């Protein structure tokens, strides 16, 4: 079934309209616009840019220049966790001086062409969609295709009988529901998923997958490489590897023991010494009851760990006292430490030797990414100890 979407003007809505912006050096994002687009992404709402670029017809710049500006905008948005699903522009104008583009076009706003193209490409129901822009031509486009117009701009620029907002951030708050979206400043990370209520599981599923992909892409691959080196070195030295976590993270720690003890050995012959500190409920509860929950991991390390061993901690917040205490003890006693964190990362992110940090504030997203990190490290270690023919013939 067709879905609602948001069609955005470019100049004056996403970036500052300084007059025929045809080069990267003139691109200046309006405060909050990238975060607003990211919020639409997290809500699973398709976003298309529809922009008149008469500067091409007037000879101010060429098609390649428009595309270069859009490539720059795409890269900058990606750095802040935002993306546009479809970029459309109209280079035509009847008063142009470049012959190839000097004509009328149904694509030129307020003509319906770009909106109809977006609807076909993204499977949009235009009657349930919004067009957001700073000019009467944007309002005209919305009315031409039966969409809902939203005007953005400074005080005094309002269009009659159209909801007007100071900027794109305010318009997106309106689209997603007043009070349901906490917009963030340009220097902050995306902080909320979901940002608004979903009414269909398939829409939520699509948004969840997109957020998971975005969050997993924030993991520093250099840190992954360093973690893999520590693990491989530990197996070479017959050092012990300990893992620990609370709640859902405890299941990842337990799974890690399985993947290294059983999985890595399959096809390599490596008899690894890997232990989860989250498994023994009798010992775990005895320590918690007699000494306090903050000691459940460090107390076990004091008896079992030796200098040169490895500690892997899994904590979405990175702030759990038992996790931080375990890292501190391990570092002080000559162990190598790897932390898996999310949210802001907490002390675990700062104090471990290596940190695989997932930039998300959704526990499910963080834990899914941590599970993927655990799997990829174990599989990398396993395949690195096999011949090319064995890798090709084995199932991973």
CATH number for the domain harbouring residue 99: 3.40.50.1000
Active site residue 138: no
Of 174, 201, 216, which residue sits at a domain end?
216
The residue range of the domain holding 343 is 221-393
| Residue 197 and residue 225 in one domain | no
Helix H or strand E encompassing 355: strand 354-357
List 310's β-bridge partners, or say none.
Answer: 241, 336
- Active site residue: 9, 134, 167, 309, which one? 9
Environment class of 82 (CB within 10 Å of its CB; exposed 0-12, middle 13-18, buried 19+): buried
- Is 75:108 a contact under the CB 8 Å cutoff? no
Active site residue 11: yes
Render each residue's pLDDT in the chain as its tens digit; 396 residues.
578 999 999 999 999 999 999 999 999 999 999 999 999 998 889 999 999 999 999 999 999 999 999 999 999 999 898 999 999 999 999 999 999 999 999 999 999 999 999 999 998 999 999 999 999 999 999 999 999 999 999 867 777 788 889 999 999 988 887 333 333 323 333 457 887 788 889 888 988 998 899 899 999 999 999 999 999 999 999 999 999 999 999 999 999 999 998 999 999 989 989 999 999 899 999 999 999 999 999 999 999 999 999 999 999 989 899 999 999 999 999 999 999 999 888 889 889 999 999 999 899 999 999 999 999 999 999 999 999 999 999 999
Asked whether residue 1 is assigned to any structural domain, the reply reads: no
Q: Is the pTM of this model over 0.75?
A: no
Rounded CA-CA distance 82/75 in Å is 9
Of 160, 191, 216, which residue sits at a domain end?
216
Rounded to 5°, angle at Cα 112 from 110 and 114: 100
**Structure tokens, 270:** 């490596």
- Active site residue: 11, 259, 359, 368, which one? 11
Taking the C-alpha atoms of 177, 182, 183 and 188 in order, what is their torsion angle to the nearest 10 degrees? -160
- Which of helix, strand or coil describes residue 271? coil
| Residue 209 and residue 264 in one domain | no
């Amino acid at each position: 079934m067709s879905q609602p979407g948001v069609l955005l003007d470019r100049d004056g809505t996403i970036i500052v309209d300084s007059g025929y912006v045809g080069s990267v050096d003139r691109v200046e994002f309006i405060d909050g616009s990238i975060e607003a687009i990211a919020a639409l992404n997290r809500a699973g709402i398709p976003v298309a840019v529809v922009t008149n670029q008469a500067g091409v017809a007037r000879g101010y710049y060429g098609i390649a220049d428009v595309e270069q500006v859009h490539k720059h905008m795409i890269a900058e948005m990606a750095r802040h966790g935002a993306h546009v699903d479809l970029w459309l522009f109209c280079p035509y104008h009847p008063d142009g001086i470049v012959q190839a583009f000097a004509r009328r076009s149904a694509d030129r706003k307020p003509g319906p062409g770009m909106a109809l193209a977006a609807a076909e490409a993204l499977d949009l129901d235009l009657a349930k969609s919004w067009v957001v822009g700073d000019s009467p031509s944007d309002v005209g486009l919305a009315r031409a295709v039966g969409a809902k117009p939203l005007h953005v701009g400074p005080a005094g620029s309002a269009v009659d009988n159209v909801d007007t907002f100071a900027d794109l951030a305010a318009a997106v708050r309106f689209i997603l529901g007043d009070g349901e979206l906490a917009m963030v400043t340009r220097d902050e990370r995306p902080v909320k998923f979901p940002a608004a209520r979903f009414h269909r599981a398939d829409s939520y599923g699509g948004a969840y997958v997109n957020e998971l992909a975005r969050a997993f892409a924030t993991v520093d691959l250099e840190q992954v490489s360093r973690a893999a080196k520590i693990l491989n070195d530990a197996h070479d030295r017959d050092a012990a590897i300990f893992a620990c976590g609370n709640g859902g993270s405890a299941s990842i720690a337990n799974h890690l023991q399985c993947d290294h003890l059983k999985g890595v050995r399959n096809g390599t012959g490596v008899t690894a010494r890997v232990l989860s500190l989250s498994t023994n409920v009798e010992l775990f509860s005895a320590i918690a009851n007699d000494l306090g929950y903050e000691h459940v991991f460090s107390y076990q390390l004091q008896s079992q760990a030796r200098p040169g061993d490895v500690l892997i901690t899994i904590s979405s917040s990175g702030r759990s006292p038992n996790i931080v205490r375990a890292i501190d003890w391990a570092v002080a006693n000559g162990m190598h430490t790897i932390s898996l964190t999310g949210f802001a990362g907490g002390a675990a992110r700062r104090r471990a030797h290596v940190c695989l940090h997932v930039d998300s504030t959704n526990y499910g997203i963080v834990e899914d990414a941590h599970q993927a990190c655990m799997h990829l490290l174990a599989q990398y270690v396993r395949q690195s100890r096999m011949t090319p023919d064995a890798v090709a013939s084995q199932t991973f």
